[in-house]
Amino acid sequence: MSDEQIYNIEPLVEADKLKLEGRHQDAIKLCEKVLLEDLDCAEAYEEIGDNYLSIREFEKALKALNHALKLNPKSANAHYLKGFTYSATGEWKKSIEELEESNSIQPNHPEILRCLGWSVFHGDNRTKGLVLLERALTMAKDDVLIICDLAVCYLNERKFERTIALLKHALAVEPENKKAKDCLQTALFFQREFKKLDR
């Protein structure tokens, strides 16, 4: 066998399926089994981190992701997940650092740019955050997560027309998307209220 480790990726593929079904504890257990056989499997730590992130156990997520990055410092995915975790806890500076690192390893990935744009908008530079989110949307024009995040940021800027247009597009792509529906109701409400104030 070569110096390159050859992992049995089947359990990791299975863990990913479990994660998508919302069976996060089962996915974590499966990844832990992988680690019993091979403690140097960075991807297993990444999966564990991703699952802990999904169930909002942020400290455990960070612990797993730090392990992954010790094994593979150039993992765009591990840096992205770490940046996402920090954004979920409102640690914008740390989030931006991790997401910029992820973006430098894997440039122009719409999901990385979405998270980076969101963190930059909330962290230190609203204009730059909007530019990054717009760039992500240019690359993935029907990605409802990007559309909704961008709409929420424009709503914060009181740019109601752009907000509403984006959310209508999101609902054209996914008519049952609850977040888009709720955001649209909120945007329409504030637009009416601000029109009253302008009179």
Q: Which residues contact 76 (CB under 8 A, 6 or more apart)?
A: 102, 103, 105, 106, 109, 112
pLDDT at 4 exceeding the cut of 90? no
* End-to-end Cα distance, the chain: 76
Residue 145, token pair as written in the block: 């997560």
Q: How far is CA 172 from CA 59, 81, 152, 156, 160, in A?
A: 37, 29, 17, 23, 18
H helices of 39-143, in order, are 42-54, 58-71, 76-88, 92-105, 110-123, 126-139
Tell me 4's DSSP state: S
What mean pLDDT do residues 159-178 have? 96
- In tens, the pLDDT along 38-80 reads 999 999 999 999 999 999 999 999 999 999 999 999 999 999 9
The CATH number given to 1-73 is 1.25.40.10
- pTM of the predicted model as reported, rounded to 2 decimal places: 0.90
